[in-house]
Amino acid sequence: MTDAETPLWRCRNCQRTYGADWLHPACRVCGGPLDRIRPIRFDPNGERDEAPGIWRYGASFALPHLPPLSLGEGRTPLQPVQGRGRQVYVKREDANPSGSVKDRAAALLFAWARARQVDRVLTLGTPNTLQAWRLYGRAAKMQVRALAPATEPWAHSRRDGVHLFPGPIWETMTALHREAHPVLTPYHPLALDAYATIAYEVVAQLGRAPGTVVAPVGQGGLLLGIGRGFVALLQAGVIQTMPMLVGVEPLARAGMWALSRGGRETHLWVREEAPVPTPEAGRRFPWWGDLLLQLVAWSQGHFVAVDEEDWSRSRDIFLRTGLYLQPETALVWAAWAVQGRAWPEPVVLVLTGGVRTPLQRWRVRWRMWKARRLSGWDKGLL
């Protein structure tokens, strides 16, 4: 049996298996989400310091004969911050090439697709994904096309290669998964392996396991991937304790927070169409929601819902200090400001991304000023 024929993914719904040549995140029969058949494993002796970016941990990907594709993603700084006398660190994912944590997923996914001689891929056209996918698509010499839901306001600032779908995000995702061309998304199971490298780097930088790791939920892949990375380190004997995982969502779409606190009855009140400060931070029920609920509970962690006022205040703190970070990053900081005193130390806040160019920074300031004027909230000037 060849590597391409060896079962690598299993549908979490109908249990069908797929080999490495299946370049979709969903089952072609029932549309259910795919996951790895065998969990990732961390080999302390498998690290290669000379390898670029996340490929230092290439052995944990369990994909033999995969030539690396790297633009310098990963190995991002872990910086201490003033945390009311507590040990608090920020993992600066804005230091990645496109300014987003999605670069980690893009490096692994596009290397995998390039090894299979793919020349065109489709994806979900959220802002961060498009920026990272286009950067790594050019490096891999692939054409990137995207499908975006017409119901989302951000989708109408469309650019070349983005097509609007007349429906909400779940219908858009369903239509995307039915395409014949390869579909690479940030919630692909292979992307979780790339996000696990954040856990490996944090432990290497701290010299031990953190007490708490905080990240936005989104589709659940980022926090689940980080959590699986810590589980792999725990099983390898590199760390002795599992950090508490904390997922952060905007209150208007806090699906995981509602489900974990009030069960199905509370979850019914969450609406997918509710406006949120960032399109990628909140979902009624994320792609990886069920597995993320289990892992967060097992780590004795929880979910935090951040309201608009707390998010606005944290956003302005970032701007006044000269950090032009993405809105979901402000959600993480707001969660720390509200509940962080009870979290075990050291606390690591995953800052998922930032803007890079002067024009992008000007646009951020303009949007923030406009949002403040429209909302009537005028405290804490830029």
DSSP letters, 148-193, are EETTSGGGGS--TTEEEESS-HHHHHHHHHT-SS-B--TTSHHHHH
Whole-angstrom distance, CA of residue 348 vs CA of residue 202: 8
> Does residue 236 surpass a pLDDT of 90?
yes
* pLDDT for residue 282: 62
Q: What are the backbone dihedrals phi and psi of residue 186, each rounded to the nearest 5 degrees, phi first?
A: -65, -15
- Counts of helices then strands in the chain (DSSP H, E): 10, 12
> Does residue 356 surpass a pLDDT of 60?
no
pLDDT in tens, 53-106: 899 998 898 887 789 999 989 999 998 987 567 888 999 998 898 889 999 999
Q: Which residues contact 127 (CB under 8 A, 6 or more apart)?
A: 154, 279, 280
Outline where the chain has alpha helix (H): 102-115, 127-140, 169-177, 189-206, 221-235, 255-267, 289-298, 308-320, 327-339, 358-375
Q: Which residues contact 65 (CB under 8 A, 6 or more apart)?
A: 3, 115
Tokens of 165: 């779908």
Is residue 203 classed as helix, strand or coil in its secondary structure? helix
How long, in residues, is the chain? Answer: 382
Question: pLDDT band for position 354 (50/70/90)?
Answer: confident
Whole-angstrom distance, CA of residue 289 vs CA of residue 224: 9
Tokens of 302: 């929880």
Q: What type of residue is 233? A: L
pLDDT in tens, 261-310: 776 656 556 666 556 656 566 666 888 888 999 999 999 999 998 887 77
- How crowded is residue 205: how many other Cβ atoms within 10 Å of its Cβ? 16
pLDDT in tens, 7-35: 889 999 999 999 888 899 999 988 889 99
- How crowded is residue 381: how many other Cβ atoms within 10 Å of its Cβ? 9
> Max CA-CA distance within the chain?
64
